[in-house]
Amino acid sequence: MQDRINLLIIIDIFAFSFTISPGKNRIRLFF
* Count: domains in the chain: 1
Instruction: Say if CB 12 and CB 27 are below 8 A apart.
Output: yes
Model pLDDT, residue 27: 55
Triad 16, 29, 22: Cα angle to 5°: 40
Range of the domain at 20: 1-31
Model pLDDT, residue 10: 84
Model pLDDT, residue 31: 43
Instruction: Say if CB 12 and CB 26 are below 8 A apart.
Output: yes
Distance CA 26, CA 31 (A): 9
pTM of the full structure: 0.42
Model pLDDT, residue 19: 57
Residue-wise pLDDT tens digits, 1-31: 788 888 888 887 777 666 555 555 655 555 4
Instruction: Say if CB 28 and CB 10 are below 8 A apart.
Output: no
